[in-house]
Amino acid sequence: GETPSPEMVAAAGETTGLSRTLGISLLAFVLIGVITIAALAARNHIANRVTFDKSADVLEERAREILVAAGYPARGVDNARGVTMSGEYVGWLGGQDRSPGRWDVLSNAPAPVLRFWYRTSPRELMPAASSWMPTVNDPPLAVSGMASVVVDQQGRLLEFITMPPQLETDQGEAGAAPDWQPLFNAAGFTMSEFTSVPPRWTPRIYADHRTAWEGAMPGTPAARVRVEAAAYRGRPVVFQVVWPWTVPQRMEQARPSALMRTLAVGGAVLLVVMLAGAIALARTNIMSGRADASGASRVALFLIAVWVAAWALGARHSLAADSEADLFFSALAFSIANVGFTWLFYLGLEPFVRRFCPEMLIGWTRLLRAQYRDPLVGRDVLVGCAVGVLLVLLGALSPMIGAAMSGVPGPPRVSNAAYLLGAQHSVSSLLRVLPNALQIAMFGTFIYVVLLALVRRRAVAIGILAVLFGALVLAEGGGAERLWIILLFAALLVIPLLYAFIRYGLLALATSMAVNQALQLAPLTLDLTKPHALASSMTILLVGGLAAYAFHVSRAGGGLLRRFVPSA
């Protein structure tokens, strides 16, 4: 009934790690599993389905050429670029074609999957939101001379827009139509094959001339594609390709259902209640001396350091000292606010974990006390790596099993497009996995302890936790056609995750979450000619290296070949 100190928890438990046979088996599973996941991604991931033979630098140069063709400078005082991966075309294609080979067209898709954007501005592009870098819409297109060009993975124009002068001049004839042929060529369309139609999509900037055309969609003649354009004093200011699946984002969309609104309100209320409870418990634990203030501080400082490192690599920086200082302190404030929740929950609920199930914190507590070469730490990390790989492997096999049973392959997966922008953005994205994975693991641990404190029976608490985990899996796979497949898939995911969590504790769960997210977010490939091959190789080497180091530590110096080497 007493709460052991963190030092007592760290000193308790086993002092040996994994046996040689089990350690080698887990390490081999991780290495083979990661390679298998990368091989399966050739068909499961959209980045491997679509031909990306142009780098970000080539697409940027293409965007500049389009600006010059439209009569504008290729560069401004400040320039920015980025990339997003769109699943809209994939969703539309899935509704049009139910054949087994419906995704084969993606290898030469005439429609956009990747959207590369390039922006120029006569002023510094400082994002108005809390994002680390400008986006295609942030900062807003509100300064005269700002321009934005969006192209697809082949460099074909999707959207061109530029802000006209605020003060009108006598240059150019009001209402005159420019030559649209260069922009049609940039979009990869033949202008003579399009028919003039009344414009319907209003531009978001001022124009004194509007026009529109319709024609057959390349590769799918039965579908129609629309081009909306606008000009100001004889110069093009808007050119937009409107596809059959394009949604008018500036118009009010369908309101969420009553259930979704109830869940949103309930989630907000739950968050406020949990935050208030964490503050009260943290205060009580600090005053009673039960709180692990040292451990909470180490966790908070580590997470803040990770956030700052991710920002340094992934954010867009300014040469102006005042602007860079604003960006830094904005990122630091965001990281402190994010980490503050973790710090509060740790102070408030970690003592209860030590009281009800201290064995789940042994490896974690030793790691916090810098015992990096402790065999138990290595064991927990290696087990977590294996479980994380297993989760991703099951997720990669699930579409193949569903396709084999239904005859219709599921849609390829869309992931973070930042990995296509280079090594520093890839590292930044991988670093941001750590705080998220650790917070999820801590949250799951705290829920389990609260359940254990309420029901007082371990089996019942585990059962409730399994149902909660399973519900999350069911929500993700809610669109599947066979319910029993979803239930089987949920069980295959939940059982190993729960076993690793209950048997090995918080550190194993956090590691499995981090590995799972890293392998899910990165577009893996074994084809070194792909533009995301560097990001894929970095992720594979990171997971494999972590597992290899964890195996070495778990052997407590026993090594892999020690039994074959005669002792002195």
pLDDT tens-digit series, residues 234-266: 889 999 999 988 888 877 666 666 766 776 787
3-state secondary structure of 203: coil
Dihedrals phi, psi of 161, to nearest 5 degrees:
-150, 140
pLDDT tens-digit series, residues 301-314: 998 888 888 888 87
Residue by residue, DSSP assigns 116-158 as: EEEEEESS----SSS-SS--SSSS-S-STT-EEEEE-TT--EE
Which has more pLDDT, 483 or 47? 47
pLDDT at 228 over 60: yes
Averaged pLDDT, 161-174: 82
d(CA 425, CA 418): 6
Averaged pLDDT, 148-153: 90
Please give the C-alpha separations between residue 36 and each of 40, 383, 544, in angstroms, as whole numbers: 6, 18, 13
Six-digit token string for 246 = 């394009």
Closest CA relative to residue 389, chosen from 480, 262, 496? 496
Dihedrals phi, psi of 533, to nearest 5 degrees:
-65, -35
Output helix, strand, coil percentages for the chain, rounded to the nearest 5. Answer: 55, 10, 30
Lowest mean pLDDT of 8-12, 34-38, 129-133, name the range. Answer: 129-133
Percent pLDDT > 70 in the chain is: 88
Closest CA relative to residue 30, chosen from 448, 479, 381, 502? 381
Six-digit token string for 247 = 């949604």
d(CA 436, CA 212): 46
Q: What is the pLDDT of residue 339?
A: 86
d(CA 557, CA 551): 10
d(CA 398, CA 376): 33
d(CA 361, CA 501): 11
**Residues with Cβ within 8 Å of residue 136, at least 6 apart in sequence:** 82, 84, 115, 117, 119, 148, 150
Closest CA relative to residue 8, chosen from 374, 361, 503, 288? 361
Name the band, by pLDDT with cuts 50, 70 and 90, for residue 484. Answer: low
Lowest mean pLDDT of 164-168, 210-214, 365-369, 476-480, name the range. Answer: 476-480
CB neighbours of residue 120 within 10 Å: 23
8 A C-beta contact, residue 6 and residue 534: no
Q: Which strand (E) or helix (H) includes residue 294?
A: helix 293-314
Averaged pLDDT, 359-370: 86
d(CA 32, CA 327): 42
pLDDT tens-digit series, residues 503-562: 888 899 999 999 998 888 888 888 887 777 888 888 999 999 999 999 988 876 555 555
User: Which residue type sits at 173?
Assistant: E
3-state secondary structure of 214: strand
Averaged pLDDT, 332-355: 83
Which has more pLDDT, 471 or 274? 274
Radius of gyration of the chain (CA): 27
pLDDT at 431 over 50: yes
Q: What is the pLDDT of residue 479?
A: 42
| Summary mean pLDDT of the chain | 82
d(CA 52, CA 533): 11
> Positive or negative CA dihedral for 207, 209, 212, 218?
negative
Cα angle 135, 137, 140; round to 5: 120
d(CA 379, CA 327): 40
8 A C-beta contact, residue 553 and residue 372: yes
Q: What is the pLDDT of residue 61?
A: 92
Burial grade of 192 (CB within 10 A; 0-12, 13-18, 19 or more)? exposed
Helix axes 321-356, 258-288, angle to 10 degrees: 80
pLDDT at 142 over 80: yes
Cα angle 164, 166, 172; round to 5: 55
d(CA 455, CA 443): 18
Which has more pLDDT, 18 or 436? 436
